[in-house]
A and B are shown apart, each in its own frame.
Chain A
């Protein structure tokens, strides 16, 4: 195959990096051409000496062939009402070409309350699916081969429990834990900063995070045990620069916690994943992904001394920006989502969720969820941007933005270092204040008309919400849990819960104990409250 169509012959990158990679991982085609027949190279570069895609520090992408080899995973976040109804939405999306699952849990499940807990009142099934037992999870994933499809779970405080439930389900279905692929978000620090589902104080929370990382390395090696998330930091109002800086600073804090546990950081690095937002500022967003990738590689090498290139690669998921969606003239949101999705793809994302156009009004309707998935498929199949790696790389504007985001975000990380590290910066309120200030400035700019979104000021009415969760789900869940509790061996339950208290008070890895407890039919809420009895409950004071 002719590698270079500009007449300069195969470059160093093609020989050393691309060729060996594609010989093992064939590309989707052996002849990429534009619609008018122009042959397309794997990578275009002004300077053949510069690192190409798949080479440290991975500015241009983590793999040499990127989407020429394999498209990103199309992974739509979904969940509501009950395990059965959510299963129907999952199958609907899979039938239409979605390639990975992403589970949205309701707030009680995320914080560690069963549906029948008084604290869960009004919240059951509202923003996600309630899961308390392995039976619930089995229903959620009915007819879905968990050994074949990767499952991402947006779960943090209760990440160890959802992982434990998944492992219990795998055992029940005869699936080898080593075959399980997917992600638990398990990023508690950004909950304290921006998302608000923390249950325990910071130290105990961080211990649980590292327990999951340590356990997965041994027992569930193909699973990503953490997804370090800038998404919610951005939604809370940060700038793109702050999103990069605070996410990477959280990453540094997790690496330090893993080092303190005595884990092999190169092994940890290979299983880390990240999660970013994509907003409307097209070029800045693309640059953001590229600079984040470059910065993380350098942090791994320089700060943590990781030699293994693969352990320095930043793999990430992207979701389009929920807070950019408008309730007025909501069909316009399809265009916003398209711009954002394209930025994520041009930035080299590994997986993508595209928001539905009606999400400023309610959870997405089935039709809007389909359009969102189709948006990704149209970019993948019809736009041609997947046929060469990092197509905008080398653009002077993009490269300059990439450099400047790196410079500014690095300054912020230095400032965090000077404050004694991310844990101190979070506890002292520095991070929240910085995000709030950015949110305030953005609001003022919007209020004053300086950056007002299109279509919101023409006096048009906000349409009715297209999707409603049936409130009777709460009653149904209550009865189900009551039945579950009456059908179990209450002595075994109590002794499992006592064992949890004992283990939580010591320093052993909690995963084996949690798995035993859930197999003995303890519920998610019961286990969480026992942990809270030992760790204490986090209190927000506003």
Chain B
């Protein structure tokens, strides 16, 4: 299952939330780190996100929500990935996500949930470690 080549990421904002400062910062940081990143723009539905992820053959999907609708949309993306037998695609998310919701999102396959203020490097390192462990030197980014 281990892949090689550039890490491919789909970033998306599910639902109606228009706060895209965070996701655009992540987009830039991941691209600067050499990853291939597709951002689908505002107001995408979980099924559009999952279809795009499969079509684009990405390693991971990153979702952002600051409107409190994360449970509905994040869990639906996870369910659809299972349904499409594509749960090898790693999930991560960020935004204003209450602490009491984080465990449930972990159980649904979200490896990391990043609150506002997360250093961009941390996201890059986490993704490299999870997706290309053989290329990652222990304890930091190459």
> Which of B25, B40, B96, B119 is close to A360, meaning CB atoms less than 8 Å apart?
B96
For the complex, what is the distance from the CA of A361 to the CA of B17, rounded to whole Å? 16
Contact (Cβ within 8 A) B18 A197: yes
B68 engages A469 (CB within 8 Å): yes
Tell me if B25 and A440 are in contact (CB < 8 A): yes
Size of interface on A: residues with Cβ below 8 Å to B: 48
Which 7 residue pairs are nearest across A and B when measured between Cβ atoms?
A196-B18, A122-B72, A465-B98, A542-B41, A126-B68, A122-B69, A540-B41
The answer to whether A447 touches B18, judged by C-beta atoms less than 8 angstroms apart, is: no
| A123 and B15 form a contact (CB under 8 A) | yes
Cβ of B79 to closest chain A Cβ, rounded Å: 13
B65-102: contact bitstring with A at CB < 8 Å (1 yes, 0 no)?
00111011100000000000000000000001011100
Contact of B117 among A108, A121, A196, A456 (CB under 8 A): A456
Within 8 A of B (CB), among A204-240: 235-237
Can you add 13 more A-B contacts, CB < 8 Å, to A123-B72, A463-B99? A107-B15, A107-B67, A119-B43, A120-B16, A122-B71, A123-B15, A123-B68, A195-B18, A237-B21, A439-B24, A462-B115, A465-B100, A469-B68
Instruction: Report the Cα distance A191→B20, complex, angstroms.
Output: 12
In the assembled complex, A478 has its CB within 8 A of some CB on chain B? no
Query: Would you call A443 and B16 a contact (CB within 8 A)?
Result: no
* Contact between B25 and A191, CB atoms less than 8 A apart: no
Interface of B is mostly: loop
- B21 engages A439 (CB within 8 Å): yes
A453, B67: Cα distance in complex, Å: 24
Give chain B residues whose Cβ lies under 8 Å from the Cβ of A361. Answer: 96, 98-99
Asked if A446 is at the interface (CB within 8 A of a chain B CB), the reply is: yes
Given contacts A327-B116, A462-B99, A464-B98, whether A123 and B42 have CB atoms under 8 Å apart is no
CB atoms of B115 and A327 under 8 A apart: yes
Most buried by A among B20, B42, B68, B98: B68
Q: Does B121 make an interface contact (CB < 8 A)?
A: yes
Given contacts A126-B68, A540-B41, contact A326 B117 (CB under 8 A): yes
B18 close to A191 (CB less than 8 A): yes
- The yes or no answer to A16 lying at the interface (CB within 8 A) is no
In Å, the complex CA distance between A126 and B69 comes to: 7
Query: Within 8 Å CB of A469, what residues of B?
Result: 68
A190 to chain B, nearest CB (A): 11
A362 is an interface residue with CB less than 8 A from chain B:
yes
**Pair B25/A119 contact, Cβ less than 8 Å:** no
